[in-house]
Structure 1
Amino acid sequence: MVTTIELAILVLVVAFFLGARRVVDTVKPFIVNTVVGLLVLLLAAWFGVGVAVTPLVLLVVAIGGAPGALLVLLLHVFGVAFLAAPLA
């Protein structure tokens, strides 16, 4: 016979997995955008336009994907933002 505790644990485990599934489904597009954007930045670095990967660059690329990476590259090339800090 199934006890109340076993049933409660089963309900909690199912709720946990459903919640985890929802979190993964929410985060997956940001991960894909980040990977695609970083590949664009890597390709640009291969052609000689290197941008330092900072948390701000990762945020722009994660939200914007490839267009975000192109925006970062354009801002870097025109000297507006994402410039490398001078070595002291």
Structure 2
Amino acid sequence: MTGIEILLLIFVLVGVLIAASLVRAVSPFIINAVVGLVVLFLAQAVFGFSVAVTPIVLVIVALGGVPGSVIVLVLSLLGIAFVP
């Protein structure tokens, strides 16, 4: 192996390690967002709650997860916000 190939191998290894640490750091947020969106979907599909799905609702649920979806559902049921 030449010096350039060794240097390139080191750069690729460092890149893989950085990517793995980013995935480990972000995965709880992704799981939280997916579970929150599933709760919102099930509330609409199974229980018949009507919520206006807007980009703001999606951001709240994605960032808040299950508590965010519960807040959106309660506000919609009370007629305060997110009413279709």
TM-score w.r.t. length of structure 1: 0.80
TM-score by length of 2: 0.83
Amino acid paired to 2:38: L
When residues 73 and 30 of structure 1 are mapped into structure 2, their CA distance, relative to the original with a 3 A threshold, is: same
Q: 1:14 to 1:44 in 2, by over 3 A?
A: same
Equivalent residue for 1:60? Answer: 60
* AA matched with 1:23: L
Q: Please state how far the C-alpha of 1:81 moved relative to its aligned partner.
A: 1.9
* CA-CA distance at 1:48 after TM superposition: 1.2
AA aligned opposite 2:79: G
RMSD: 1.5
Aligned length: 83
1:78 equivalenced with 2:78 (yes/no): yes
CA offsets, 1:16-40, max 9 Å, x none?
1111112211221121111111121
Distance 1:22 1:54, change over 3 A: farther
- Larger displacement relative to structure 2 (5-14 or 55-64): 55-64
Task: Give the equivalent residue in structure 2 for 1:5.
Answer: 4
Give the superposition deviation at 1:50: 2.5
Say if 1:53 and 1:22 are closer, same or farther in 2 by CA, change over 3 A: farther
| AA at the equivalent of 1:61 | V
